């Protein structure tokens, strides 16, 4: 395994100093930093290839089209889709899931039907299904958690029924950092004729994903959580399902013919990609995939596992630290540690840590139902990536020891 320090040279932001230390960036669950290879790719696009794809007969447009479509093919290979046409480019996972809510959910769900999600969902995979259920007169049901933070097998069996039309589940919780047994959920959904939707926002950056092996009907993720620029996301869908769905947005480049009173739409994937697309973001995503392939998922997972196993014993020695999602019995912990400091609001914890050059996330993490289920209004979250080091952990722990003292506590 390569030393995590070996990757730092590729991330300019991580060379910055704060409070006399190299900044310890521990918020990769929100967005990852970008290596120079990705920055260079985006810069190269706008310097050399900037043009609308698909629309021009001139060289720049042809080159922009080639970049865009080669990235689509690369993404398909990256997640093991059957064909490039099953890859739809969006702005992010949120847009991907909303596309499904509008173009699939509103069409397929009827009064009396049921939609099943988990209590651990990010709002992006929760609020759209609330909307569909409320709009169509359907019931929204939740799979809850066991005491160690994992999805309840009993709930998977009992909540997904013959009335279920959609099951939506995150592959990795952005709060608890636990891998869910998505295949079990997908298989149960299919056994009752339901469609299975997987939010891969917290999985694709950290673990190999094979959408065909999962048998997911739809799969969504964001580029910015896996080294690429903001503003580029992916929706994978099985071809026949996507082909039967109406467009989400209407306008330029997603049409076949437009007449005064009617329009016919383009074939996949263009049908779902209205308007000028983010080709620069796609080129950045392509470079990010190349970089991740070079690092390798084995290395990524090994570094994150080492950092979590190095950090947790030190945190458990601090009597004022409360941990969430760190006691799973299934060996499915990823590089996320969610915690609170007793008697200190999470926002104050994050602000004080920032004064020592440590960046963590504080708040409800776009998962308020899960926070309520845990009996918390907010928590802090440290999320690691392969560019983090044990030095970052040491810096984090030492800064955490000072938080209560800053507020006048004696310990």
CA–CA dist 109, 87 (Å, integer): 24
User: Running DSSP on this structure, what letter comes out for residue 178?
Assistant: B
Residues pairing with 323 in the sheet: 339
Question: Three-state DSSP class for 95?
Answer: helix
What ranges in 49-92 are assigned the alpha helix state H? 59-79
CA–CA dist 403, 353 (Å, integer): 7
- Give the residue numbers annotated as catalytic, written as ranges: 366
Read off the tokens for 65.
Answer: 């089209």
CA–CA dist 38, 224 (Å, integer): 11
SS3 content of the chain, % helix, strand, coil (to 5): 45, 20, 35
Closest CA to 89 of 102, 106, 76: 76
CA–CA dist 349, 405 (Å, integer): 11
């Amino acid at each position: 395994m390569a030393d995590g320090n070996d990757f730092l040279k590729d991330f300019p932001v991580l060379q910055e100093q704060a409070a006399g230390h190299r900044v310890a960036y521990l918020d990769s669950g929100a967005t990852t930093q970008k290596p120079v290879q990705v920055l260079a790719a985006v810069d190269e696009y706008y310097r050399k290839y900037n043009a609308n794809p698909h629309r021009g007969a001139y060289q720049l447009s042809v080159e922009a089209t080639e970049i865009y479509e080669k990235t689509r093919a690369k993404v398909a290979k990256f997640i093991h889709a059957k064909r490039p046409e099953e890859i739809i480019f969006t702005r992010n996972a949120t847009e991907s899931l909303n596309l499904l809510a509008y173009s699939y959910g509103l069409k397929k769900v009827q009064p009396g039907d049921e939609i099943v999600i988990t209590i651990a969902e990010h709002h992006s995979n929760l609020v759209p299904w609330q909307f569909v259920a409320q709009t169509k007169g359907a019931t929204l049901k939740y799979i809850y958690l066991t005491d160690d933070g994992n999805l309840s097998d009993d709930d998977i069996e009992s909540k997904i029924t013959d009335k279920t039309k959609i099951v939506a589940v995150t592959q990795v919780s952005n709060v608890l950092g636990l891998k869910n047994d998505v295949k079990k959920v997908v298989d149960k959904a299919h056994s009752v004729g339901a469609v299975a939707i997987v939010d891969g926002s917290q999985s694709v950056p950290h673990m190999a994903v094979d959408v065909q092996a999962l048998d997911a009907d739809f799969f969504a993720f964001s580029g910015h959580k896996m080294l690429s620029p903001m503003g580029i996301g992916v929706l994978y869908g099985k071809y026949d399902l996507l082909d039967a769905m109406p467009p989400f947005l209407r306008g330029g480049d997603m049409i076949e013919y437009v007449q005064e009173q009617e329009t016919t739409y383009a074939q996949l994937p263009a049908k779902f990609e209205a308007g000028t697309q983010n080709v620069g973001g796609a080129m950045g995503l392509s470079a990010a995939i190349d970089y991740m392939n070079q690092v390798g998922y084995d290395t990524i997972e090994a570094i994150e596992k080492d950092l979590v196993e190095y950090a947790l014993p030190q945190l458990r020695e601090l009597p004022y630290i409360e941990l969430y999602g760190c006691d799973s019995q299934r060996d499915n912990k990823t590089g996320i540690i969610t915690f609170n400091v007793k008697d200190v609001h999470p926002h104050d914890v994050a602000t004080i840590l920032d004064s020592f050059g440590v960046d963590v996330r504080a708040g409800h993490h776009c998962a308020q139902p899960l926070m309520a289920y845990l009996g918390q209004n907010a928590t802090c979250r440290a999320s690691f990536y392969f560019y983090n080091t044990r030095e970052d952990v040491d810096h984090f722990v030492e800064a955490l020891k000072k938080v209560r003292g800053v507020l006048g506590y004696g310990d």
